Amino acid sequence: MNSPKSELGQYLRELRKERQETLHQVSKGTDIDSPMLSKIERGERLATNDQLKRLAAFYKVSEASLKVKHTAEKILKEYGVNETTYDAIQLVNEQIAPYITKSKGKKL
């Protein structure tokens, strides 16, 4: 199964590098151990919702945007990069679009 690079992990690494912080500093600020942070950045582990919340607060970024990247990554890790996955995502998009437009302005 073909799997892409971790977009979430890469994004988190870029945020850390922009701030010129070490994994140890992020670990202290998020209460997530350094080895786990390293695995998340490398795409070897998926962050939990609690870890995403802590990382969003630490980096002062949208928790929702981290969750979107996380969800996409989970789908691709589970089902791979292939035409079937693409078609399934398109189907989900079609099925969810009417609900989203009805709920505009409301939280899902």
81-94 pLDDT, tens digit per residue, is 999 999 999 999 99
pLDDT at 45: 92
pLDDT band at 3 (very low <50, low <70, confident <90, very high): low
Its CATH architecture, for the domain 7-80, is Orthogonal Bundle (1.10)
| 107: region left, alpha or beta (phi > 0 left; psi from -120 to 50 alpha) | beta
Query: SS3 for 72?
Result: helix
| 48: region left, alpha or beta (phi > 0 left; psi from -120 to 50 alpha) | beta
Mean pLDDT of 12-21: 97
Closest by Cα among 57, 86, 61, 51 to 72: 86
CA pair distance 70, 73, nearest whole angstrom? 5
CA pair distance 35, 68, nearest whole angstrom? 23
Residues in Cβ contact with 10 at an 8 Å cutoff, skipping those fewer than 6 apart: 41, 43
pTM: 0.80
Task: Give the tens place of pLDDT for each residue, 49-104.
Answer: 999 999 999 999 999 999 999 999 999 989 999 999 999 999 999 998 888 877 66
